[in-house]
Amino acid sequence: MTGESDGEGEQAAFGNRVLVVDDDAALARALTINLRAHGWDVTAAPTGAAALDAVASARPDVVLLDLGLPDMPGLDVIEGIRGWTRVPIVVLSARQLGDDKVDALDAGADDYVTKPFAMNELLARLRAAVRRALPTQSEEPVVMAGELRIDLARRQVSRGGADVRLSPTEWALLEVLVRNRGRLVDRKQLLHEVWGPAYSTETNYLRVYTAQLRRKLEKDASHPRHILTHPGAGYRFEE
């Protein structure tokens, strides 16, 4: 985490990262090879716990989940994922009949493929799942500003392609500014939204954290081009 992205972090297009969750090593390998051949950026997880971690760290655009994992019930994995993100989940199941299909969909899965399956069908369903999900999150959460790329949904900032690590407070401040980009944000409003309603005079915080953000994001921190100061009023993010 501390260093750069782990391997295939930066790919050209969006919506092509898939997380394959399967404990069957042979099947997982086959899936990985096949998906990569079709342009997917594949991350693999052999267990439910690893899957939950991977959803958080790799931020896939779609999850291909095999039920019947060794460490925990597949439904719990679905619910664990649904607890905090709406990334589409396509379930892979061996059984052809049974309640598990209904249960999985009820728990928050988006689609269902039964083994054995045709690769074509699987690819189609993955594409469909991603496509359906896009309009939901497409409130244009990615803001480009010079060499900065700020992904509001994924809480990710990169400068010139390299990821930038931000502390929670740094991110909270940047987020408010970017969500109000092009518009002046009051000092009071910034303090209120980042630190809470009780803080309205601690302009110290703003000075400290704008300085830190500029040091991390601006090319020349002493001549900022994106995080601008309005003396006596507040700050403004400009693209």
Binding region for DNA (CB under 7 A): 1-4, 118, 165, 167-170, 187, 195, 202-208, 210-211, 214-215, 221-222, 229, 231-234
Shortest distance (Å) from residue 194 CB to its own copies: 8
Q: What are phi and psi of 117, to 5 degrees?
A: -130, 160
Taking CB within 5 to 8 Å according to partner kind, which of DNA, its own copies, none is near residue 117?
A: none
Complex with its own copies: residue 23 or 76, whichever CB lies closer = 76
Burial 148-187 (b: 16+ CB within 10 A, else e): bbbebeeebbbbeeebbebeeebbbbbbbbbebeeeebeb
Interacting partner of 50 out of its own copies, DNA, none (Cβ under 5 to 8 A depending on kind): none
What span, in angstroms and rounded, lies between the C-alpha atoms of 190 and 185? Answer: 7
Instruction: Select 114 or 229, whichever has its Cβ closest to DNA.
Output: 229
Tell me whether residue 25 or residue 86 sits nearer to its own copies (CB atom).
86
Query: Which one of DNA, its own copies, none is in contact with 187 (Cβ closer than 5 to 8 A by kind)?
Result: DNA
Contact call for residues 11 and 60 (beta carbons, < 8 A): no
Closest contact distance (angstroms) between CB of 217 and DNA is 12
Q: Which residues pair with 112 in a beta bridge?
A: 91
Number of other CB atoms surrounding residue 118 within 10 Å? 9
Nearest distance in Å: CB 208, DNA: 5
**DSSP state letters, 152-213:** TTTTEEEETTEEE---HHHHHHHHHHHHTTTS-EEHHHHHHHHT-TT-SS-HHHHHHHHHHH
List the alpha helices (DSSP H) in the chain. 25-37, 48-58, 74-82, 100-107, 119-137, 168-179, 187-194, 203-217
Task: Indicate which of DNA, its own copies, none lies near residue 37 (CB less than 5 to 8 Å, by partner kind).
Answer: its own copies
Contact residues toward its own copies (CB under 8 A) are: 10-11, 13-14, 16, 37-41, 76, 79-80, 82-83, 97-99, 101-102, 105-108, 112, 114, 123-124, 127, 130-131, 135, 153-156, 167-168, 171-172, 176, 179, 182-184, 188-189, 192-194, 196-200, 230-233
Q: State both tokens at 89.
A: 């989940």
99 binds, among DNA, its own copies, none (CB under 5 to 8 A by kind): its own copies
Q: How far is the CB of 125 from its own copies (least distance, A)?
A: 11
Joined together, the tokens standing for residue 68 give: 């019947």
